[in-house]
A and B are shown apart, each in its own frame.
Chain A
């Protein structure tokens, strides 16, 4: 159990995809769920969204961006290696119902997490419009995968190397202006992107969910590290989320809280590089 059956580099030295043998998690995981993993006896627990599952094959897919010590260490693992601790599925799954057109917005590594939700919507019979963005075309994830089931895949890049030159939210806004039948928008990505998604969709009065990526320790509701303010109330992203009604989320607070351990994260990363 927990062995890496496939590793695929998506963006060299930055983003990779791992397919992991985890039959129990694979049989239970629904779009929106995440796992918590730990790599060594001294290791920290980090949450990662499940990007895809293969229940019959007993496998789950995770996609990670190398940004701290644990993801850097994870990136040194290869096919055949084992993940020491893998816990899940966690979080409340996305509430998916057949309702018509659903726009799934993904930015950066968030596209991978969005993929599972978009696929779930397609399987439920919804018309899926995928809107994805990255800095440039070679940093764009999961486009071919999304094209398999999306009605349309719309792209934005910062440098204009593919699709619209600019932000995903500009593409989203334009689409919402053209299609009045959109029933729901789901945004997964960096906090500023999700904040912008919330601002754009508010004008169209369309139901909008975002999937929050706050700091977690246990991921089981025990610690409250992941707490966010939603509608003026404290909510735990791990057990009450990670998805919340976008218009209600205090994104500025979330952005600050993500910096809580920045100096320690840097120290840990430096040490890792030295030892490597």
Chain B
């Protein structure tokens, strides 16, 4: 296969237009602008339409990439949308935030040429096009949904990607789904975590509205385990409960000075900006900490989101501190490149040791220690180790800790029947998501620890399939 791909002359991927880095670094508009119809068709025609497609195997929610891409090539955009929607409830979101390079585009047979089909961009195009041109009635009509039976009820706790996917799958099969959200707005990490310039909130709202059209109920300000217990949900006639509450408890590094004013978890920083619209203060009430000389600790996507947000809020300088090198950063390449284009700087092979502040408790400096990479071990990973006595300082007035999250205990500590692993995450069957409690399923970050949107969606889909089997026999 590889040989064949190499011998045939491959047309390169159709580029997607972007906002100019100079302009966009100071505003919140979406950076990637999406394909036009011509661009999409041209890209879709690059697909080899393999007899035995491998792209679908790379997708956690089993999107039939080959078929929908063929339909795009034939300009059957309705058909393409319906095909994607068969397995993916949130295509406009996935098309934007999935790491396709590690999924469908990784298993694409054109990958060895370095120019796999831009499946993610095509998925986004199909979804955006559909929503732009179609009314909701047509949507439900084209999905040929089974009418919802109010007597067959399933509850989902948390309204992030796993629950939304589960809700979409079950509602299309005639199940009445109620989604319980603790915050005042549904969407979970899609709303409080991922910034507007990467995933516009209107896109999330559209996906949620489309679920409402399938008679999915969203109940906000319900804290699973506190406002309502699992037991009560079963008493109220829900046949199954899905727990998709996310990980969410931000980690800190336990360093001296880490509680100075001016040091925030990425979760707090992003929540203030995204969910609470703090960038519009004082029109909106929630303030965002000002930062002129910003340091972000961590090298993942959340670190990139935080750094790019700080730039947009007017920071003069934003540096991302990471203990390994650029090549090892866990962030998606695309996100890293975007950040660098916009002017984010990297401070690699460095790790914070302490923070220093003034008498009022405001942050002034971070002390870093230089790191070096050891030779690769058996696993091939090069471990970073501190260089003795190699300390240096950076001036900073805002430090954002993007060093991961742990298990949130709000639901788990009030639901004693739920078995947890040693890290506090819920034990669930890897295939069905079933937990130690009867007819209680779980998926997403609260099972796996922090992972991607689409992995959570895959879990939601698998649990939905199992729940449907159980309740409809």
Where the two chains meet, the residues of A that have a C-beta atom closer than 8 Å to any C-beta of B are: 24-25, 28, 38, 40, 42-45, 69-70, 84-90, 217-218, 220-225, 227-229, 233-234, 236, 239, 253, 256-257, 259-261, 264-265, 267-268, 271
Smallest distance from the beta carbon of B110 to chain A beta carbons, Å? 41
Interface stretch of the complex, out of B21-29, B36-44, B220-228, B460-468: B220-228
By a CB distance below 8 angstroms, the chain B residues around A225 are 264, 268
Given contacts A28-B226, A222-B192, contact A87 B182 (CB under 8 A): yes
A90 in contact with B223 (CB, 8 Å) = yes
Complex contact A259–B276 (CB within 8 A):
no
Docked complex Cα distance between A25 and B384 (Å) = 49
Residues in chain B near residue A45, CB distance under 8 A: 184, 276, 286
Instruction: Give every chain B residue within 8 A of A222 (Cβ-Cβ).
Output: 192, 248-250, 267-268, 271, 408
Say yes or no for B317: interface residue by CB 8 A criterion: no
Q: Are B268 and A267 in contact, with the CB atoms below 8 A?
A: no
Instruction: Note all chain A residues with C-beta closer than 8 A to B259.
Output: 227-229, 234, 253, 257
From A70, which residue of chain B is reached at the shortest CB distance?
B285
A256, B360: Cβ atoms closer than 8 Å:
yes
Residue of B nearest to A216 (CB): B268
B252 touching A87 by the CB < 8 A rule?
no
Are A234 and B254 CB-contacts (below 8 A) given A28-B226, A267-B282, A268-B285? Answer: yes
Given contacts A220-B223, A234-B259, A264-B282, 8 further A-B contacts (CB under 8 A): A45-B286, A217-B276, A228-B259, A239-B249, A239-B410, A257-B259, A268-B285, A271-B282
- Identify the 10 closest CB pairs spanning chains A and B, nearest first: A256-B361, A264-B287, A223-B268, A44-B285, A85-B184, A224-B265, A87-B221, A260-B261, A44-B286, A42-B284
What is the CA–CA distance of A90 and B250 in the complex, to the nearest angstrom?
Answer: 18
Report A-chain residues with C-beta under 8 Å of the C-beta of B183: 87, 218, 220
How far apart are the CA atoms of A227 and B226 in the complex, in Å?
21
The answer to whether A42 and B250 have CB atoms under 8 Å apart is no
Complex CA gap A41/B345 in Å reads 36
B281 interfacial by beta-carbon distance below 8 Å? yes
A38-B184, A223-B265, A239-B408 as given contacts; A24 in contact with B228, CB under 8 Å:
yes
Query: Which chain A residue shows the least CB distance to B189?
Result: A222
Measured CA separation A268–B288 after assembly (Å):
13
**Can you list 13 contacts pairing A with B, beta carbon distance less than 8 Å?**
A24-B222, A42-B280, A42-B284, A43-B285, A45-B184, A85-B184, A87-B227, A218-B192, A220-B410, A223-B250, A225-B268, A234-B254, A236-B249
Chain B binding surface SS class: loop
User: Is B258's beta carbon under 8 Å from chain A?
Assistant: yes
B286 & A239 in contact (Cβ 8 Å cutoff) = no
Chain B residues 155-190 with CB under 8 Å of chain A are 182-184
A224 vs B152: C-alpha distance in the bound complex, in angstroms? 39
Contact of A223 among B271, B289, B360, B409 (CB under 8 A): B271
- Judge whether B312 is part of the interface by a CB distance below 8 angstroms: no
Does B206 interact with chain A (Cβ within 8 Å)? no
Given A221-B408, A239-B408, A256-B361, do A87 and B267 touch, yes or no (CB 8 Å)? no
- Report which of B248, B277, B408, B410 forms a contact with A42, defined as CB distance below 8 A: B277
B78 contacts chain A at the CB level, 8 A cutoff? no
The B247-283 residues at the A interface (CB cut-off 8 A) are 248-250, 252, 254, 258-259, 261, 264-265, 267-268, 271-272, 276-277, 280-283
Contacts of A42 in B (CB 8 A): 277, 280, 283-285
B interface residues, Cβ below 8 angstroms from A: 182-184, 192, 220-223, 226-228, 248-250, 252, 254, 258-259, 261, 264-265, 267-268, 271-272, 276-277, 280-287, 289, 360-361, 408-410
Report yes or no: B285 in contact with A259, Cβ–Cβ below 8 A.
Answer: no
Chain B CB count within 10 A is highest, among A87, A233, A253, for A87
> Chain B nearest CB: distance from A50 CB in Å?
12
Majority secondary structure of chain A interface residues (helix, strand, loop or mixed): mixed
Smallest CB–CB gap between B281 and chain A, Å? Answer: 7
Other-chain residue from B221, B268, B272 in contact with A85 (beta carbon distance below 8 A) = B221
CB pair A224–B252 under 8 Å, yes or no, is yes
* Distance, CA A225 to CA B283, complexed state (A): 22
CB of A259 within 8 A of CB of B261, answer: yes
Across the interface, name the chain B residue whose C-beta is closest to A250: B259
Contact between chains at B360 and A259 (CB < 8 Å): yes
A90 to B410, CA, bound (A): 9
A24 to B280, CA, bound (A): 33
Please state if B226 and A89 are interface contacts (CB–CB under 8 Å). Answer: yes
Distance between B168 CB and nearest chain A CB, rounded to angstroms: 24
State how many angstroms separate the Cβ of A83 from the closest Cβ of chain B. 10
Complex formed: what's the CA distance from A267 to B280 in Å? 13
CB pair B221 A217 closer than 8 Å: no
Q: For the complex formed, measure the closest distance between the CB of A88 and the CB atoms of chain B, giving whole angstroms.
A: 7
Report if A89-B250 is in contact (Cβ < 8 Å); known contacts: A217-B271, A221-B408, A267-B282: no
* Distance of B285 from chain A, by nearest CB (Å): 4
| Contact among B182, B228, B268, B287 for A224, CB-based, below 8 A | B268
Residue pair B227, A88 in contact (C-beta under 8 Å): yes
- Nearest-Cβ distance from residue B370 to partner chain A, whole angstroms: 26
Chain A residues lying within 8 Å of B280, measured Cβ to Cβ, are: 42
Query: A86 touching B261 by the CB < 8 A rule?
Result: no
The interface residues of chain B lying within 8 Å CB-to-CB of A224 are 250, 252, 264-265, 267-268
| Chain A residues whose CB sits within 8 angstroms of the CB of B264 once the complex forms | 224-225
> Once bound together, how far apart are the Cα atoms of A267 and B192, in whole Å?
25
Q: Collect the chain B residues with CB atoms within 8 Å of residue A28's CB.
A: 226-227
Q: A42-B283, A45-B184, A224-B267 are in contact. Are A234 and B227 (CB under 8 A)?
A: no
Contact present for A221 and B248 (CB under 8 Å): yes
**Residue on A nearest B254 in the bound complex, by CB:** A234
User: Closest CB-CB distance, A276 to chain B, in whole Å?
Assistant: 14
Task: State whether A89 and B268 are in contact (beta carbons under 8 Å apart), knowing that A44-B285, A260-B289 are contacts in the complex.
Answer: no
- Closest chain A residue to B269, Cβ basis: A223
A239 touches B271 (CB 8 A): no
Contact assessment for B408 and A220 in the assembled complex, using a CB-CB cutoff below 8 Å? yes
Complex interface: chain B residues within 8 A of A256 (CB): 261, 360-361
Q: Which residues of A sit under 8 angstroms from B282, Cβ to Cβ?
A: 264, 267-268, 271
| Contact between A87 and B285, CB atoms less than 8 A apart | no
* B285 x A69 contact (CB < 8 A): yes
Q: Is the CB of A44 within 8 A of B261?
A: no
Q: How far apart are the CA atoms of A85 and B360 in the complex, in Å?
A: 34
A44–B288 CA distance with the chains assembled, in angstroms:
12
Task: Determine the distance from Cα of A267 to Cα of B248 in the docked complex, in whole angstroms.
Answer: 31
In the complex, what distance in Å separates the CA atom of A267 from the CA atom of B288? 13
Closest to B252 in A: A234
The docked-state distance in angstroms from the alpha carbon of A234 to that of B259 is 8
Interface centre among A25, A28, A257 (most CB of B within 10 A): A28
| Given A42-B277, A222-B250; A257-B361 close (CB under 8 Å) | yes
